[in-house]
Amino acid sequence: MSVPRLLSALAGGLLALSALPAAAASLSCGSYSAEEGSARFVIESSSQATMRYEGLAPTQYVIRQQGNTLHAADVSNGFSTEYSLSSDGKRITGSLGDYVLEASSRCKTAPTPAANSCRADIDSCIENASAATPQQLRQWCQEDLPFACERLLSSYRNEAQAALQAATPDPDLEEPAVCKEGTPQYSEAACLAAAKEVLGIAMAKALVGAFGSNSAVLPEPRLNELLQLCRSHPDAGFCSEVADAHWDAGRYLPAREALQLACKAGADEMTCKRAQALAALSAADLDVGPASSLPCGDYKASTGLMDALGFGNDGLVTMGMGSELRARLQDGAIHIRHDKGGDFVLKPLRNGGLLGIDSWNRYAVYQRTGGNNHCSAPKVFVELPLPQDCPVGSDPQACCNSGKLQGCNTLGHRHSLAGDWQAAAPYYQKLCQAGVRVGCENLRSVYENTGDEDIPGKLLSICKRDGKGTHVACDVYETTNWAMAGLGAQLMRAAEDLDNEEDADAPAPPSKGKSLRK
> Tens digits of per-residue pLDDT, 409-434?
999 998 998 889 999 999 999 999 99
Residue 184 pLDDT level (bands cut at 50, 70, 90):
confident
In the predicted structure, residue 208 carries a pLDDT above the cut 50:
no
Q: What percent of the chain has pLDDT over 90?
A: 63
Q: How far is CA 426 from the centre of its chain?
A: 33
Q: Flag the least confident range among 231-240, 315-324, 374-383.
A: 315-324
Q: What CA dihedral angle connects 388, 390, 393 and 398, to 10 degrees?
A: -160
In the predicted structure, residue 21 carries a pLDDT above the cut 60:
no
CB 345, CB 357: distance < 8 Å? yes
**CA distance linking residue 61 with residue 143, whole number of Å:** 13
Residue 195 pLDDT level (bands cut at 50, 70, 90):
confident
CB 226, CB 153: distance < 8 Å? yes
CB 359, CB 212: distance < 8 Å? no
Q: What is the mean pLDDT of the chain?
A: 86
Q: What is the DSSP string of 112-129?
A: PPPTT-TGGGHHHHHHTG
Largest CA distance in the chain: 121
Mean pLDDT: which of 13-27, 73-87, 206-220, 494-508 is highest? Answer: 73-87
What is the per-residue pLDDT for 200?
A: 66
- The set of residues, in sequence order, having a beta carbon less than 8 Å from that of 194 and lying 6+ positions away, is 176, 178, 179, 392, 393
Query: In this structure, which long-range contacts are made by residues 205-209, counting pairs with CB atoms below 8 Å and at least 24 apart in sequence?
Result: 205/172, 205/413, 207/413, 207/416, 207/417, 208/341, 208/413, 208/416, 208/441, 208/442, 208/445, 209/339, 209/340, 209/341, 209/342, 209/441, 209/445
CB 209, CB 443: distance < 8 Å? no
**CA distance linking residue 284 with residue 81, whole number of Å:** 48
CB 479, CB 325: distance < 8 Å? yes
What is the per-residue pLDDT for 505?
A: 56
In the predicted structure, residue 507 carries a pLDDT above the cut 70:
no
Bridge partners (DSSP) of residue 426 are none
Q: Pick the residue with more confidence: 176 or 513? A: 176
* Coil vs helix vs strand at 136: helix
**CA distance linking residue 499 with residue 379, whole number of Å:** 45
**CA distance linking residue 442 with residue 349, whole number of Å:** 35
In the predicted structure, residue 42 carries a pLDDT above the cut 80:
yes
Buried b (16+ CB within 10 A) or exposed e, 303-338: bbebeebbbbeebbbbbeeeeebbbbeeeebbbbbb
CB 446, CB 454: distance < 8 Å? no
What is the per-residue pLDDT for 266?
A: 84
- Domain residue spans of the chain: 30-104, 297-370, 396-495
Q: What is the mean pLDDT of residues 181-202?
A: 74
CB 97, CB 32: distance < 8 Å? no
Q: Flag the least confident range among 27-41, 55-69, 172-186, 440-454.
A: 172-186
Nearest 5°: the CA angle 350, 354, 357 is: 115
**CA distance linking residue 395 with residue 194, whole number of Å:** 11
